[in-house]
C-alpha cells in the first residue's frame, strides 16, 4: 500500500541535488562524468571523526541516510543479526520513500536485517541510500517497488568489498554498478548476482555473473537455518496478493534471472 510522505522541512544540500540529478532520466540533466565521479568519491568517504553509533548495550545502531532528501533514521537492533520493531521499520520506510513523489512502502524486515549486517561487518558510520522505494511502472516487477531493495553506499568501503560480502548472505540479489558507484541489495527466493556498467540515467547494461557462487551461497544459507524470502507480498488487494504467490515457469536460464 502506498502512503503519501510528510513534507520536508529543509532544502536539500548541494550533494543531495547532485544525487537527484544523477538518478534523473532526462538526458539534459545528467552531470558530466568528472563531476559525477567526484560526487561518488565524496559519498564513499566516511565523515571525519565520526564513530559508528551504539545503543546503551554497546551494540551498533542501524543508521540509514538518504542522499536524495538528507533524511536520516537511527534504529536499534534486537541482536547482532538485526531484528527491528515494526514502528522502527515504518520510520525507515519514510527515509526510503521515493523522493520525486513522496510515495513509500513498508520495508521487508529481512532487508533491514541484511543491511544492518553489512553496516556492522564494515563497522560503518551509516548506510547512505541512493534509492529505496520506487513506484512500479506499468508492467514491471522491480523489487524496489515491493520494499525489498536498496541501492546504497557504505562509507569507508569499496563497492567491490560490499558486493563480495553481500553475496555471502544467501537468498539475495546483489548488483554492482561500477560507473554509477553503488551496490544494489535485495531479498528474494533464489540468489542472483550481476554487474551493470551503465552510467546514471543511462539504459541498463546488466550482465549476470557468478552463477555457481549464487547457488552455493543459498545452500550455505540453508545450512545456517536461513530461509528464502517468499515471492508473496502483503497488500490490501487479496487477489493481487494471491497472484504474486504463483511462480511462473522460468523463461530463462538460472544464470539469467532479472536483477532489480
Residue pLDDT, tens place only, 83-111:
999 999 999 999 999 999 999 999 999 99
Whether residue 232 has pLDDT greater than 80: no
- Reported confidence tier of residue 30, pLDDT bands at 50, 70, 90: low
H or E stretch covering 213: helix 211-223
Least confident of 23-27, 76-80, 108-112: 23-27
What totals of helices (H) and strands (E) does the chain contain, helices first? 7, 10
Over residues 34-58, mean pLDDT: 93
Q: Where are the domains of the chain?
A: 3-256
Residue 22, pLDDT > 80, answer no
pLDDT average, residue stretch 133-142: 90
Instruction: Read off the pLDDT band of 128 (50, 70, 90).
Output: very high
- Is the Cβ–Cβ distance between 175 and 195 less than 8 Å? yes
pLDDT of residue 7: 36
Concatenated DSSP letters for 139-164?
T---GGGGT-EEEEE-TTS-HHHHHH
64 forms beta bridges with 73, 127
pTM: 0.81
The least confident of 26-30, 48-52, 191-195, 244-248 is: 244-248
Of the chain, the end-to-end C-alpha distance in Å amounts to 20
C-alpha grid cell for residue 191? 540468489
Residue 245 scores a pLDDT above 70: no
Look at residue 189 in the predicted model and tell me its pLDDT. Answer: 96
pLDDT of 120 higher than 90: yes
| pLDDT of the residue at 26 | 41
3-state secondary structure of 166: helix
Residue 257 has pLDDT above 90, yes or no: no
- Asked if 142 and 134 count as a contact pair (C-beta separation under 8 A), the reply is yes
CA distance 171 to 1: 24
pLDDT band at 40 (very low <50, low <70, confident <90, very high): very high
Does 246 score more than 70 pLDDT? no
- Identify the band that residue 138 occupies on the pLDDT scale cut at 50, 70 and 90: confident
Res. 82 pLDDT band, cuts 50 70 90: very high
* Range in 115-124, 189-198, 242-251 the model is least confident about: 242-251
**Which residues sit opposite 128 in a β-bridge?**
65, 153
- Average pLDDT of the chain, as a whole number: 84
Amino acid at each position: 500500500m502506498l502512503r503519501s510522505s510528510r513534507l520536508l522541512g529543509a532544502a536539500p544540500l548541494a550533494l543531495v541535488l547532485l544525487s537527484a540529478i544523477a538518478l534523473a532520466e532526462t538526458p539534459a540533466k545528467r552531470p558530466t562524468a568528472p563531476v559525477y565521479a567526484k560526487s561518488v568519491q565524496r559519498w564513499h568517504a566516511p565523515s571525519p571523526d565520526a564513530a559508528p553509533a551504539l545503543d546503551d548495550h554497546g551494540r551498533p545502531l542501524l543508521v540509514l541516510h538518504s542522499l536524495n532528501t538528507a533524511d536520516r533514521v537511527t534504529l536499534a537492533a534486537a541482536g547482532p543479526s538485526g531484528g527491528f520493531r515494526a514502528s522502527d521499520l515504518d520510520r525507515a520506510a519514510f527515509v526510503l520513500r521515493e523522493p520525486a513523489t513522496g510515495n513509500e512502502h513498508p520495508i521487508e524486515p529481512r532487508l533491514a536485517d541484511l543491511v544492518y549486517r553489512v553496516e556492522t561487518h564494515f563497522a560503518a558510520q551509516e548506510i547512505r541510500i541512493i534509492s529505496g522505494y520506487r513506484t512500479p511502472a506499468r508492467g514491471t516487477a522491480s523489487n524496489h517497488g515491493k520494499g525489498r531493495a536498496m541501492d546504497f553506499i557504505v562509507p569507508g568501503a569499496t563497492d567491490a568489498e560490499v558486493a563480495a560480502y553481500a553475496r555471502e548472505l544467501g537468498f539475495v540479489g546483489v548488483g554492482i554498478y561500477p560507473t554509477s558507484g553503488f551496490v544494489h541489495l535485495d531479498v528474494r527466493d533464489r540468489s542472483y548476482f550481476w554487474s551493470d556498467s551503465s552510467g546514471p540515467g543511462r539504459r541498463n547494461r546488466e550482465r549476470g555473473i557468478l552463477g555457481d557462487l549464487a547457488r552455493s551461497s543459498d545452500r550455505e544459507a540453508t545450512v545456517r537455518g536461513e530461509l528464502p524470502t517468499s515471492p508473496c507480498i502483503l497488500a490490501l488487494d487479496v487477489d493481487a496478493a494471491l497472484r504474486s504467490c504463483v511462480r511462473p515457469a522460468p523463461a530463462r536460464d538460472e544464470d539469467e534471472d532479472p536483477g532489480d
